[in-house]
Amino acid sequence: MVTPFAADGSINLDLAGRLADHLVSNGSDGLVLCGTTGESPTLSWEEEHAFFAAVKNAVGGRAKLVAGCGSNCTAEAVSATAKAAQLGADGALVVVPYYNKPPQDGLEAHFRAVASAAPELPLMLYNIPGRTGTSLAPDTTARLMDLPNVVSFKAASGTTEEVSALRAQCSDRLAIYSGDDALTLPMLAVGAVGVVSVASHVAGPQISAMIKAFLDGDHAAALAIHEQLLPLCKALFCTTNPIPVKAALELSGWPVGAPRLPLLPANDDVKQRLSETLAALRPT
């Protein structure tokens, strides 16, 4: 979920609640708060806690709420995960530590420390080497499966091979989610169970229908929806996320504000591409 900002740059908590309600009413089974799309690098922990409370107040009990708790500092990730459990989160999204580029045994130690901070809180490990500079190897993930709260994995390496490798090492004990909207259907075909989606902000019902069709065995219907959504998925990543999705929401009547610096608002070319793509998705 994006983080809506008011004109003065503060979080618009009222709009956050209304947007969360809209997403849950339009196909989302859960919401990831304060992740990459939520601009976590430019939020303070205090802002994140207030944002989580506002969303929980709006949709608590209707959807699972997963709090972004990752950091390149293990102690900070441990503290954030313990706080998420205290606030009543249903899970924590914990990204591979970025910039430090730890070796695999360092990654394992990091995630073990985070898992022990809140043993009852389910964890989704998040692998996105394009942003972190380091990739969590499938065999490292497999070693972490002795931790009962390591239950899911957001796969954003850009390849379906990661899903196959994780399945081979971890079987279906690990619920794997696509971290790339354009790869949701291909990843479902090799064992993923869903998607942590950006496109769901503007195409939630279609994404939900695609996943349901695939799981129901109607692969032709799933493929047709995938092909319909592909231009939108590409447009939403034509420049750095969440610049395009915030613009798409603005074009759809949701005044979520511009991203915080160092990200900039979408330029006119991006807005035009998004406008045309959204228009093509609407029923005629």
Could you list the active site residues? 126, 154
How many other CB atoms are found less than 10 A from the CB of residue 233?
20
Q: What separation, in Å, do the N-terminal and C-terminal C-alpha atoms of the chain show?
A: 28
Which residue carries 């699972």 as its tokens?
64
Q: Choose among 190, 280, 250: nearest CA to 4.
A: 250
Give the integer Cα–Cα distance in Å for 183 and 122: 24
The three-state secondary structure class of 144 is helix
12 touches 2 (CB < 8 A): no
Instruction: Give 29: exposed, middle or buried? Use CB within 10 Å, 0-12, 13-18, 19+.
Output: exposed
70 touches 59 (CB < 8 A): no
